[in-house]
Amino acid sequence: MLWCRCGVLLVLCVCPVACITMSPCPPGCCCPRPGFLVLCESLGLRSIPRSVPLSTSALSVARNQLCNVDHLLRPFSGLQELSLSHNLLARFPLGLPPSLESLLLQENRITYITSGALRQLGNLTRLDLEDNRIRAIQPGALEGLSKLQVLTLKGNQLKRLPLNLPSSLTNLDLSANCISALDLPSLSTLVNLQVLKINSNCLCSVPESAFDGLPRLRSVDLTNNLWVCECDILYLYRWLLSGRLKMATDLVCTEPVHLAHRLLLNLSVMAICPRVLKPNERTHRLQASTAEPAAPAFKSSPDKKNNSESSSDGLQQMSKAQSIHKDVSKTCVLLKHYTLETLSYEDCLSLNKTQTVSPSYLTTSTPAEEQRCRDNVTGRYPQINATSAEVTQSLLSTNRDAPLPTPNPRPFTQQDSVVVSLLAVLCVLVALLMLAVLLVLKKVLRSQQRVAPLDGASGG
């Protein structure tokens, strides 16, 4: 009987304590799994309810009026998931339990994040800071989160990528900020990154090899930025054409003015960066020198008696002009090799589609001039404009038997300079030889003048 009475007293003492510590659910909250999952949302709370079980592993106090929860949640040593979204927090909460794995803080009033705010949260795998007022993240503030995989900073006021991001990140959302440039040091450490969202920012271009150091990247969103479709965007242009990733390719140009509102991938390399395929000054000089002797090949003969001769001459000169153009094109390729090697195969295909006519600096004939060529071959006279007709008529009236105009001398090449130097040396040698002969003749004449008076005296 004594043992029974002791047992009853023990039960009566322990049950109230157990009821307090294992309360099924705080008033007004929803607890699908009492003691593990507690949802106290949209209750107008200004503080964390005291009756929340300390054994809770998932707690949501979203959509309330919480202004400060510093150190209020540290006793929840087993808390793994915490939602403080849609509240009035002005700074990142301090004193959170180190056991946290998921922390949701979207739609608060947080303006900055210091390096010490997340120092104890080494187990975090997900951090959501969407739609706050974050202007700056102190360098290294996120570096200690070695297990962080998902980081959402959408809808803030960041002007650059956060420095020292953890290499464990797989999903990074930086959309709807004010980021104007992608920092290569910030991206190079994200070797495990798979999804990158940086749409709705102020990006103008992407630096060279920005995404080359991200081997696991499979999805990128770059839409709604201020793309300047000039030479600096060629890396992104080639990278989009490669089609290796799942991403939105409808990037719209905002500058320059003549390309505004056009899709980037609908443009050609020449339209984006004309100087990539422009020949340099040396090429211009070479083309100018080779184009001068080729000009008479497209002129018709004014003499009707030499139609057959002019046809054959025209054919020969046309073949010479074609060979010259082949040399020019080869030279252009050699001179521009340092720019063409940066173009990919897709760039060449796009050029072939858009540039159906060869560049103007390699063409020497217009459709009218081609017609003249055909007329020269067949022996007919082409129709020319009034100015050329008057000039030809004046020439015919003054001298009908005048020969065909001779082509201008071709420019000196290296071989020509060697020949000229040899001829100059030969001329000098000939001049020296002639000078030696003159000296010999002069001595002979002097000797004859000295001998002549002696001959006269003996004769007397």
Q: Write out the chain's pLDDT in tens, 460 residues.
A: 444 454 434 434 434 444 444 556 888 888 887 778 999 999 999 999 988 999 999 999 999 999 999 999 999 999 999 999 999 999 999 999 999 999 999 999 999 999 888 988 999 999 999 999 999 999 889 988 999 999 999 999 999 999 899 999 999 999 999 999 998 888 989 999 999 999 999 999 999 888 988 999 999 999 999 999 999 999 999 888 887 676 666 899 999 999 999 999 888 898 998 887 655 544 444 454 444 444 443 334 444 444 444 445 555 555 554 554 445 444 444 444 433 334 443 454 455 455 444 444 334 444 444 444 444 433 443 343 444 444 334 433 444 444 444 445 555 566 777 888 889 999 999 999 999 999 999 889 888 876 555 444 444 4
The 10 Å CB-count burial string (b at 16+, else e) for 47-85 is: ebbeebbeebbbbbbbbbebeebeebbeebeebbbbbbb
pLDDT of residue 350: 54
**Integer CA distances (angstroms), 414 to 250, 283, 332, 411, 419, in order:** 52, 16, 18, 10, 9
pLDDT of residue 437: 94
pLDDT of residue 418: 80
Let me know: does 167 contact 194? Beta carbons within 8 Å.
no
Q: The pTM is what?
A: 0.57
> Half-sphere exposure of residue 432, counting CA atoms within 13 Å on the CB side?
6
Alpha-carbon gap, residue 169 to 193, rounded angstroms: 6
Count of CB atoms situated within 10 Å of the CB of 136: 16
pLDDT of residue 277: 63
